[in-house]
């Protein structure tokens, strides 16, 4: 007998958030018949998030048992004579279970949901006909009841989770945005140290976000925007900014627009600094904001966009 999960979907007929798990059980023909299936649905960290119960069948079917001698029985096994039995298992999800799955998903690089079904299967099995030289009482074939265990794994990909699960489970509505990852590439030598350091801060933000450390993400964001604000009172920063000014002008960006962009970068440095400093500029105690997921994602995606804009100018 072999069992696998075909699909996991939302059960829209339930009044509470619930999943439908479609299982296919491949039984050896005429040798075994499944009676029932139940079990637990586990998250990737081994926590039980729901109890699975068989609550529907895919289609009506008839499965029988035959008395077979040992050679015929072995033939069935060797040639893999199987017949499928499909069933729906259902489970309700609590708000705590849904939140747990979403938190685990956010930590994964590919943002997928990893699930495992730990199943209990009750099966009827027909024993082999004994040899004729055995005692008479052992020659009467009887049904055998077996209780078996099985584990099945299933992955809900990021796109499926966002498009078909998150909103209907009450997590929220999302949209996917593809952003090209910045790379150093053909960057002039005088810009390479600046670009590599800025790129490292983007990677640091991403790692902090994957660990759901929103405060640390804001810390690295502040370092990123500090690198980009180009303090003109420092000779090195002024030189780099003047070079960028010329590159922007080649694509018909006016002086006002260029300065507005870098004024915005400076303001984002000031904004992210509020998540770090205990004191304000006047020396008074600063109420340090508590960083949330939305704060971290905002400064992170903006950082990627800014670095891509600068990278394009440096390579044009």
Higher pLDDT, 255 or 174: 255
pLDDT digits (tens, 9 = 90+) for 284-301: 777 888 999 889 989 999
* pLDDT > 90? residue 154: yes
* pLDDT > 90? residue 238: no
Quickly name the fold that domain 189-315 has: 1.20.120
* pLDDT > 70? residue 19: yes
Q: Where along the chain do its domains lie? A: 2-165, 189-315
Q: What is the 3-state secondary structure (H, E, C) of the chain?
A: CEEEEEEEEECCCCCCCEEEEEEEEEEECCCEEEEEEEEEEEECCCCEEEEEEEEEECCCCCCCCCCCCHHHHHHHHHCCCEEEEEEEEEEECCHHHHHHHHHHHHHCCCCCEEEEEEEEEEEEECCCCCCCCCCHHHCCCCCEEEEEEEEEEEEECHHHHHHHHCCCCCCCCCCCCCCCCCCCCCCCHHHHHHHHHHHHHHHHHHHHHHCCCHHHHHHHHHHHHHHHCCCCCCHHHHHHHHHHHHHHHHCCCCHHHHHHHHHHHHHHHHHHHCCCCCECCCCCECCCCCCCHHHHHHHHHHHHHHHHHHHHHHHC
* pLDDT > 90? residue 215: yes
Higher pLDDT, 16 or 132: 16
* pLDDT > 80? residue 274: yes
* pLDDT > 60? residue 131: no
pLDDT digits (tens, 9 = 90+) for 29-39: 667 888 888 99
- The CATH class of the 2-165 domain is mainly beta
Higher pLDDT, 199 or 125: 199
* Average pLDDT of the residues in 149-162: 92
Lowest mean pLDDT among 79-88, 104-113, 174-183: 174-183
């Amino acid at each position: 007998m072999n069992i696998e999960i075909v699909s996991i979907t939302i059960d829209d007929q339930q009044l509470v958030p619930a999943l439908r798990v479609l299982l296919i059980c491949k039984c050896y023909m005429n040798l075994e018949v499944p009676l029932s299936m139940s079990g637990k649905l586990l998250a990737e960290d081994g926590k039980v998030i729901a109890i699975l119960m068989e609550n529907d069948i895919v289609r009506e079917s008839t499965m029988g048992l035959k008395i077979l001698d040992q050679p015929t029985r072995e033939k069935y096994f060797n040639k893999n004579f199987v017949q499928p039995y499909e069933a729906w298992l259902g489970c309700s999800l609590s708000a705590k279970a849904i939140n747990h799955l979403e938190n685990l998903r956010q930590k994964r690089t590919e943002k997928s949901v990893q699930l495992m079904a730990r199943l209990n299967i009750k099966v009827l099995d027909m024993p082999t006909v004994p040899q004729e030289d055995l005692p008479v009482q052992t020659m009467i074939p009887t049904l055998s009841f077996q209780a078996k265990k099985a584990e099945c794994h299933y992955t809900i990909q990021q796109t499926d989770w966002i498009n078909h699960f998150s909103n209907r489970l009450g997590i929220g509505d999302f949209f996917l945005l593809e952003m090209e990852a910045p790379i150093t590439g053909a960057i002039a030598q005088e810009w390479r140290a600046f670009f590599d350091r800025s790129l490292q801060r983007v990677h640091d933000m991403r790692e902090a976000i994957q660990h759901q450390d929103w405060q640390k993400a804001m810390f690295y964001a502040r370092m990123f925007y500090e690198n980009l604000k180009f303090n003109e009172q420092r000779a090195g920063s002024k030189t780099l900014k003047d070079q960028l000014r010329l590159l922007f002008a080649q694509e018909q960006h006016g002086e006002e627009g260029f300065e507005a962009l870098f004024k915005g970068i400076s303001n984002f440095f000031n904004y992210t600094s509020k998540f770090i400093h205990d004191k304000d500029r006047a020396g008074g105690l600063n109420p340090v904001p508590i960083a949330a997921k939305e704060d971290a994602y905002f400064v992170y995606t903006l950082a990627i966009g800014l670095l891509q804009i600068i990278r394009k100018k440096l390579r044009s």
